[in-house]
Amino acid sequence: MYAVIDIETTGGKYNEEGITEIAIYKFDGLKVIDQFISLVNPEKAIQPFVVNLTGINNDMLRNAPKFYEIAKRVVEITQDCVLVAHNAKFDYRILRTEFKRLGFDFERKSLCTVELSKKLIPGQDSYSLGKLVRALGIPLSDRHRASGDAQATVKLFKMLLAKDLEKNILKDAVKIAPKRQIDTRLVYILEDLPGITGVYYFHNKEGEIIYIGKSRNIKKRVTQHFTNEQHKSRQMQKEVSSVSFEATGNELAALLKENQEIKYNKPKYNRALKKNIFSHALYHSTDENGYIELKIGRAGNKNSITTFSSLKRAKNVLEMWVEKYELCRKLCNLENTNGNCFNYTIKKCHGACIHEEPAEAYNKRVRALIDQHSYQNQHMLVIDRGREIDEKSALLVEDGEFKGIGYFNLNHQINNIEIIRSIITPMKNDRDAQHIIQSYLRRNSRLKIVQLDPLTK
């Protein structure tokens, strides 16, 4: 659990500043579940340059509560949380100073989104909150006011969580989470899990990830793990101390994230995905008469059109495409004959098998199939559901290479290639990822695909 905080102060000498405004958003990694926002009477004058910067003046604070009047609420909303702030050293110091004046030792673990951004989003021109979120396409209102800056920090932190491939942020948060009694811990864990699409992580008592999975309903899937009587499940039940999760909004993002993070983190109970998850692929070549032939073969050649999880699946899909694109079964190597194919007999083939249909006309339909189901040399965004109602996900492919997935709220963000590249969490373009994407696109033909101009590279 996180407490995303922003504080405005009077300015002045080091450790003599007073708080003028505070905003705290309690964030569970997916959504804000509690918030506290208040002006604060610092009982001292505000520096003139601060008034110009924030718009907060002494008159506005005359009837505001003093810090001791809100201190209990600050303690409660930050209890068992990691403090998150943009330049956390400043906000944490100010809070500790205020509590020290009250004789209270305020201690929380803290995370700085400036430092995290430098590590996870390198190469930015500036890491000041205003310039950074503008470069990433994150909306920011009421700049230099606690609530506006804290809301922008929540959105930035959400992006950083997605980009944290090593899951160090999650692991650290798990370590400080309050531990449950051993006999009831599984029940308590399930109570906190949502029924959403995403990736979930089983942690042991040291916070290390021991299992990674994905589901369209995380709570339901983890319940199955906790009630399964198989040996592997019983071993995990003994070791698991907590479960964290990351919402993805759609199954494609969950599949890709699971594929990458199992290979990256190598959890002890994940045996799947150590080998490629596809076995067969569809290839094309041109025969001596100029007709494009399609053929199913073992996966591995880089020049495949698309891949399949089994030979049976490959044949079923190719049969469906033969009918859809009115192709010749003989030229698709689904039928071995010296004469015409069976489909020609029943008027479903135009005669390419006996050179009755010109190669140019036949090949035009084959190329339509290839263009539809291969993203080789493609420059595109695949738009899908986001993690929230007002959000969309964007999967980026450039030069036929899968780059990663990001999330956006505003349509103008997908019209700027630099913003797209900034919000994208880089992911490995391995063959499993290619198979996952192509398989998903086959099953979800209504997905919105935005073609990008290759000149914007």
CATH number at residue 194: 3.40.1440.10
Average pLDDT for 47-54: 87
The model's confidence at residue 306, banded by pLDDT at 50, 70 and 90, is confident
Greatest mean pLDDT among 101-105, 361-365, 399-403: 361-365
Domain that holds residue 304: 280-372
- Please name the residues in contact with 261: beta carbons below 8 A apart, sequence gap of 6 or more: 165, 167, 199, 212
Flag whether 271 is in a domain: no
Domain end (from 217, 238, 265): 265
Mean pLDDT of the chain: 85
pLDDT given at position 441: 83
Q: Is there a single domain that holds both residue 395 and residue 320? A: no
pLDDT of 62 > 60? The answer is yes
What six digits make up the tokens of 48? Answer: 């003139």
- What mean pLDDT comes out for the span 103-131? 88
> Are 402 and 434 within 8 A, CB to CB?
yes
Give the strand pairing for 110-112 and 198-203.
Answer: unpaired
Give the three-class secondary structure for 213: strand
Helices then strands (H, E): number in the chain? 17, 16
User: 386 and 305: one domain?
Assistant: no
Q: Are residues 140 and 193 both part of a single domain?
A: no
Instruction: Kindly state whether residues 152 and 223 are assigned to the same domain.
Output: no
pLDDT band at 452 (very low <50, low <70, confident <90, very high): confident
- How confident is residue 181, by pLDDT bands cut at 50, 70 and 90? very low
pLDDT value at 182 more than 50: no
Domain count, the chain: 4
Record the tokens describing residue 127, joined without a space: 């890491």
User: Is 286 strand, coil or helix?
Assistant: strand
Task: Name the strand (E) or helix (H) holding 2.
Answer: strand 2-9
Hey, what are 352's tokens?
A: 């390419």
User: What does the pLDDT read at residue 302?
Assistant: 67
pLDDT band at 408 (very low <50, low <70, confident <90, very high): confident
Residues 226, 247, single domain; the answer is yes
Three-state SS at 445:
coil
CB 314 within 8 A of CB 284: no
pLDDT of residue 390: 82
395 torsion bin: left (phi>0), alpha (psi -120 to 50), beta (else): beta
| Residue position matching structure tokens 């396409």 | 137
Q: Which of 113, 201, 200, 210 is nearest to 163 (CA)?
A: 113
Residue 299 scores a pLDDT above 50: yes
Q: What is the pLDDT of residues 21-49, one digit of tens each?
A: 999 999 988 889 999 999 999 988 888 88
Question: In the listed set 339, 372, 405, which residue is the last one of a domain according to the structure?
Answer: 372
pLDDT tens column, 323-346: 989 999 999 999 888 888 888 888
Q: Is 444 within the bounds of a domain?
A: yes
- Least confidently predicted of 15-29, 37-51, 396-410: 396-410
- Highest mean pLDDT range out of 237-251, 413-427, 438-452? 237-251
pLDDT tens profile 121-178 = 888 888 999 888 888 888 778 777 888 899 999 999 988 888 877 777 766 665 555 5
pLDDT at 183: 41
Side by side, the strands of the sheet bearing 292-298 are 292-298, 280-286, 306-308
Q: Is residue 195 part of a domain?
A: yes
CA–CA separation, 212 and 192 (whole Å): 17
